[in-house]
Each structure stands twice: as C-alpha cells, then as structure tokens.
Amino acid sequence: INEKQNDYARELYYLSMIYNRQPRQAVLNKITETAANYNLSGYEVDDFSFIFLFFRKYSLYFTLFLLIVGIYAFVVLVQKKRHNELIQRRHTWVVILYLSTLLILLNLPDFYQIGIINKETAFLRESPSSAAPVKKAISRGNKVIVLSETDEWLQIWWDEHALYARKLDVWAIQ
C-alpha cells in the first residue's frame, strides 16, 4: 500500500519490521532495491548484513547446538565433582567462559537496533540537547543504527560518528 502511495520511508519501515522478525533474502532484496531507487544510505548489503541474516535465520539451531554442548560440559563437571575426581581449574574457567559467551551471544540480536528517519530533514547533533549545534542533517528514509536511548534522544551511528537525533524523527525498528 505504501509503495503505491509513494511513501517510501513507511514502506522501508514496514519491510524492515518484517525482515527483523522473519529474515528472508527476498525482503532484503526489496529493501535494497527501494533504497537504491531513492538514493538512501544505510541499506548497503555488506558482510555484517549477511552474517546478521544468516544468524537470525538459523539462530534457533545454532543456539540449541551451542546450548547442548554447554550443558554437556557442565554435566561432565558436575559428574566429576560427585565422584570426587580432580577437576582442573582451567576446565572450570573454560566452561564458565563458554556459558558466559553463550549468554552474550543469545542477547546479541536484541542489542542491535536500527531506525529509519521519518522527517523530511532530521538534524543530528553532537550532544542530546536542542541547544547543541547541528553536526549533520539527513533526509527522510535513511537508515541509522541506534546505539542508545535517553529521554527524548536517540544516540545513533551515522557516517562513522555517534550523533544524537530526536526520538520523534526516527522510527525505531522493534
């Protein structure tokens, strides 16, 4: 519907929402095609996008495999402890490090959030204040990476800089 209304920013927003929930190559191709038609930045398919697509697509199987290996290692350590066998300290640390890394890996996709500029011109500032000088201005439909969030400001990554944009100027992809 938004494509027919020529509302490319909203179209990209909804396509990105779909892609975030069910990553498929066809959706990614439509996103990059639409972005290329309107000369928008942030939609380039790079190695990170490919790895992210691959991880999101097969994350359930990947996570289950890693979790099974971690549980197996933990059970082996518990069995050794029950039978009063010597457990080397490095084995304990390796299992703890493995499970900690697995915990971080499981939460990694939640840390990565993108946003799409929804105003005709959004002003990016160096600090989260309306009084801060404008560092850059970007147009509607461009994709940004959201780093963090404060009261009414989003810290975003744009053009290799961490800048601030008003929350009202960005549709965050959930």
Instruction: Answer yes or no: is pLDDT of 161 > 80.
Output: yes
Pair (135, 94) in one structural domain: no
- For residue 131, tell me if it sits in a domain: yes
Residue 67 domain flag: yes
In this model, does residue 73 exceed pLDDT 80?
yes
Q: How confident is the model at residue 174 (pLDDT cuts 50, 70, 90)?
A: confident
pTM, two decimals, is 0.71
Q: Is the dihedral of CA 45, 47, 49, 50 positive or negative?
A: positive
Task: Please check whether residue 73 lies inside any domain of the structure.
Answer: yes
Clarify whether residues 119 and 106 are in a common domain. Answer: no
**What pLDDT does residue 144 have?**
92
Answer yes or no: is 99 within a domain. Answer: yes
Nearest CA to 135 out of 113, 160, 117 is that of: 160
Per-residue pLDDT at 31 exceeds 80: yes
Q: Is the pLDDT of residue 4 over 70?
A: no
Query: What percent of the chain stands above pLDDT 90?
Result: 33
Residues 6+ apart with CB under 8 A from 149: 155, 167
Q: Give tens-digit pLDDT for 82-118.
A: 998 888 888 889 888 988 888 887 776 666 788 999 9
Task: Check pLDDT > 80 for residue 46.
Answer: no
Give yes or no: residues 67 and 102 share one domain. yes
Indicate if 98 and 117 belong to the same structural domain: no
Task: Please tell me the total count of domains within the chain.
Answer: 2
Residue 52 shares a structural domain with residue 103: yes
pLDDT at position 137 over 90: yes
Average pLDDT over the chain reads 86
The domain in which residue 105 lies consists of 47-111
Residue 47 is predicted with a pLDDT of 78
What is the reported pLDDT for 136? Answer: 93
| Confidence (pLDDT) at 45 | 76
pLDDT given at position 54: 77
Residues 6 or more apart whose Cβ sits within 8 Å of residue 52: 23, 109, 112
Same domain, 120 and 134: yes
Q: 43: pLDDT confidence band, cut at 50, 70 and 90?
A: confident
Q: Give residue 3's pLDDT.
A: 59
User: Is 17 within the bounds of a domain?
Assistant: no
Q: How far apart are CA 102 and CA 94, in angstroms?
A: 12
Residues 129 and 73 in one domain: no
pLDDT given at position 127 = 92
